[in-house]
């Protein structure tokens, strides 16, 4: 290893040799970096799960443009909009299809287990083409029967008996909001931070479950256009055309991003995860700085000797940087491995999609390297200022 670095650097790998010389300190330092990495990875994992799960429903819709009430921030607290806007939007050239969607949440207590589940209920026209997933749109045809629902099989802690019965093709009767509802089929979506799972019902069943919601006031209107590449222009036209100010049109992508930005900036949970990443960075910085500055302190007279021999400041910075990056790399690898295991455990426990995209290790490593470099810069400042004779 030291041969390789030495060959690359064109000099003795002093930083590396110095680190390897004091094994106790090395282990403590690597442990610190690993810990900081685990912290950062876990927070990013949860934060990403928050972003992903919060837009599961958004993504599932087959639409180019979405109409929402003009004060839209998040699907969870979206206000309804007048259905007449749907017809006005249909009149805009290029828009060829529109369908309303009704969204609300309902608790359901499973009488066999006593568990309570918080469902997001999505009411759709069973004859319409609502979902990207064509199988799901086909299943939605079954909802023409009143008081039927399709249930998310990845609902958090979903009752296995119900799942098995549904898989065998039979339906299950439950009581939700004082109404008898029949689960007729399963679909695949997943839990999120605010709801445990999803139900898809017909618009008629939706009104039965939410007596205060009226047919004329959907939560969303999904629009499809002739040429999807013109989504931005047509969105603009619709917004000009619907000049009442009570609704706005967004491209599907903008709709997803609006929700994610709301989750990141406006919810306490988004803040908590961002804060967690910050803490991880600070912990890492403090530990690495502590190690590097103690190390510089311990080698001050040797460094002074090198300075007396004529080594320039960048040489010392190079040595400390070499140590910093070695620590970053040595701490990163176990951190990554531990996190992959923890991700599996957390995903299994929460039903959240906690996964490791390949960009994240790259990002965290760059962050770790930057954090270590910064510590290194701070640690060598004292060294560069002094005359060699004052350092012996």
Partner 1 sequence: MASEFAIETKQLCHTFGTGAAGVRVLHNVDLNIKRGEVVILMGPSGSGKTTVLTLVGCLRSVQEGSVKLLGTELNGASDETLMRMRHRIGFIFQAHNLHKSLTATQNVQMGLQIHGRQANRNWREACRHMLELVGLGDRVDFMPDQLSGGQKQRVAVARSLVGNPEVVFADEPTAALDKESGHRVVSLLRRLADERQTTIFMVTHDHRVLDYADRIIKMEDGRVVEEKSILFPGMESANH
Whether the CB-CB separation of 223 and 63 falls below 8 Å is answered with yes
Which range touches partner 1 (CB under 8 A), out of 6-14, 24-32, 172-180, 222-230?
6-14
Q: Which is nearer to partner 1, 1 or 389 (CB)?
A: 389
Which range touches partner 1 (CB under 8 A), out of 202-210, 257-265, 305-313, 332-340?
305-313
* Closest CB 308 distance from partner 1, rounded Å: 5
Q: Which is nearer to partner 1, 22 or 182 (CB)?
A: 22
Which range touches partner 1 (CB under 8 A), out of 218-226, 255-263, 306-314, 331-339?
306-314
As given in the structure block, the two tokens for residue 256 are 């997803």
Whether the CB-CB separation of 280 and 40 falls below 8 Å is answered with yes
Q: For residue 392, state whether it binds partner 1 (rule: CB under 8 A).
A: yes
Q: Which is nearer to partner 1, 18 or 293 (CB)?
A: 18
Report d(CA 166, CA 157) in Å as an integer: 16
Query: Quick one: which of 164, 308, 340, 345 contacts partner 1 (CB under 8 A)?
Result: 308
- By CB neighbour count within 10 A (0-12 exposed, 13-18 middle, 19+ buried), where does 134 fall? exposed
Q: For residue 3, state whether it binds partner 1 (rule: CB under 8 A).
A: no
- Calculate ∠ Cα 280-285-288, nearest 5°: 120
Query: Quick one: which of 299, 343, 364, 379 contacts partner 1 (CB under 8 A)?
Result: 299
Q: For residue 11, state whether it binds partner 1 (rule: CB under 8 A).
A: yes
> Between residue 21 and residue 50, which ones bind partner 1 under the rule CB under 8 A?
21
Instruction: Give me the count of residues in the chain.
Output: 392
* Closest CB 382 distance from partner 1, rounded Å: 16
Q: Are strands 172-176 and 179-187 parallel, antiparallel or unpaired?
A: antiparallel
Q: For residue 385, state whether it binds partner 1 (rule: CB under 8 A).
A: no
Query: Quick one: which of 97, 193, 207, 311 contacts partner 1 (CB under 8 A)?
Result: 311
Identify the DSSP state of 178.
T
What CA–CA distances, in Å, run from 238 to 178, 248, 385?
Answer: 40, 8, 65
Q: For residue 297, state whether it binds partner 1 (rule: CB under 8 A).
A: no
To which residue do tokens 């180019």 refer?
64
Q: For residue 5, state whether it binds partner 1 (rule: CB under 8 A).
A: no
Q: For residue 363, state whether it binds partner 1 (rule: CB under 8 A).
A: no
Beta-bridge partners for 95: 225
Query: Quick one: which of 1, 3, 8, 10 contacts partner 1 (CB under 8 A)?
Result: 10
As given in the structure block, the two tokens for residue 373 are 């470099």
As given in the structure block, the two tokens for residue 67 are 């109409």
What CA–CA distances, in Å, run from 150 to 146, 166, 175, 209, 354?
Answer: 12, 10, 14, 14, 25
Which range touches partner 1 (CB under 8 A), out of 121-129, 184-192, 304-312, 332-340?
304-312
* Closest CB 40 distance from partner 1, rounded Å: 30
Q: For residue 380, state whether it binds partner 1 (rule: CB under 8 A).
A: no
Q: For residue 294, state whether it binds partner 1 (rule: CB under 8 A).
A: no
CB-based contacts of 90, cutoff 8 Å, min separation 6: 97, 98, 223
Q: Which is nearer to partner 1, 311 or 365 (CB)?
A: 311
Report d(CA 296, CA 376) in Å as an integer: 10
Which range touches partner 1 (CB under 8 A), out of 16-24, 94-102, 210-218, 344-352?
16-24
Identify the DSSP state of 163.
H
Count of H helices and E strands in the chain? Answer: 14, 9
Q: For residue 309, state whether it binds partner 1 (rule: CB under 8 A).
A: yes
* Closest CB 330 distance from partner 1, rounded Å: 16
Report d(CA 264, CA 287) in Å as an integer: 28
Q: Which residues bind partner 1 (CB under 8 A)?
A: 10-12, 14, 17-18, 20-21, 299, 301-302, 304-312, 387-390, 392
């Amino acid at each position: 290893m030291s041969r390789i670095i030495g060959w690359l650097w064109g000099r003795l790998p002093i930083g590396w040799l110095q680190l390897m010389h004091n094994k106790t300190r090395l282990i403590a330092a690597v442990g610190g970096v690993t810990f900081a990495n685990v912290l950062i990875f876990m927070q990013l994992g949860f934060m990403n799960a928050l972003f992903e799960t919060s837009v599961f429903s958004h993504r599932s819709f087959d639409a180019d443009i979405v109409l929402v009430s003009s004060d839209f921030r998040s699907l969870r607290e979206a206000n309804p909009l007048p259905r007449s806007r749907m017809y006005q939007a249909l009149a805009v050239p290029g828009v060829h299809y529109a369908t309303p969607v009704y969204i609300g949440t309902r608790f359901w207590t499973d009488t066999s287990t006593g568990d309570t589940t918080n469902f997001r209920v999505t009411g759709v026209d069973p004859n319409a083409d609502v979902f990207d997933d064509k199988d799901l749109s086909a299943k939605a045809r079954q909802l023409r029967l009143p008081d039927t629902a399709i249930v998310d099989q990845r609902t958090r802690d979903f009752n296995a008996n119900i799942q098995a019965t549904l898989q065998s093709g039979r339906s299950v009767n439950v009581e939700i909001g004082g109404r008898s509802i029949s689960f007729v089929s399963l679909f695949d979506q997943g839990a999120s931070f605010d709801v445990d799972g999803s139900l898809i019902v017909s618009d008629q069943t939706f009104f039965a479950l939410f007596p205060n919601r009226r047919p004329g006031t959907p939560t969303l209107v999904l629009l499809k256009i002739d040429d999807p590449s013109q989504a931005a222009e047509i969105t603009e036209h619709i917004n000009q055309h619907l000049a009442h100010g009570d609704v706005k049109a967004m491209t599907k992508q903008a709709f997803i991003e609006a929700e994610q930005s709301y989750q990141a900036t406006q919810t306490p949970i988004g803040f908590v995860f961002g804060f967690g990443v910050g803490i991880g960075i600070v912990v890492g910085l403090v530990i690495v700085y502590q190690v590097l500055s103690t190390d510089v302190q311990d080698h001050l007279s040797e460094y002074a000797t090198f300075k007396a021999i004529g080594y320039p400041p960048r040489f010392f910075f190079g040595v400390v940087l070499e140590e910093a990056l070695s620590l970053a790399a040595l701490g990163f690898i176990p951190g990554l491995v531990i996190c992959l295991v923890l991700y599996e455990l957390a995903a299994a426990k929460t039903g959240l999609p906690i996964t490791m995209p390949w960009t994240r290790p790259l990002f965290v490593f760059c962050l770790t390297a930057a954090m270590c470099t910064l510590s290194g810069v701070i640690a060598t400042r004292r060294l560069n200022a002094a005359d060699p004779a004052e350092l012996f």
